[in-house]
Amino acid sequence: MQIHQVAPDEWRLWRDIRLEALSSDPEEFGSALAVEQRYGEDEWRDRAAEGLKVVALDPDPVALVAATAKPEGLYLYSMWVRASHRGRGIGEGLVRTVLAWAAEQGWKVVVLRVWEDNLPARRLYRRLGFRQAEDPEYMEFQVS
> Average pLDDT, stretch 91-103?
98
- CATH number for the domain spanning 102: value is 3.40.630.30
Distance CA 19, CA 80 (A): 11
Looking at the chain, the whole-number percentage of residues with pLDDT higher than 70 is 100
User: How many structural domains compose the chain?
Assistant: 1
pLDDT tens track for 126-135? 999 999 999 9
Domain that holds residue 103: 2-142
Residues with Cβ within 8 Å of residue 115, at least 6 apart in sequence: 28, 121, 137
Residue 144: pLDDT band (50, 70, 90) is confident
pLDDT tens track for 6-63? 999 999 999 999 999 999 999 888 899 999 999 999 999 999 999 999 999 999 999 9
In DSSP notation, 38-83 reads T--HHHHHHHHHSSEEEEEESSSEEEEEEEEEETTEEEEEEEEE-G
Q: Quote the pLDDT of residue 122.
A: 97
For residue 3, what are the CA distances in angstroms to 25, 45, 58, 78, 138? Answer: 21, 20, 9, 15, 25
Considering the chain, what is the average pLDDT of its residues? 96
Q: Quote the pLDDT of residue 27.
A: 87
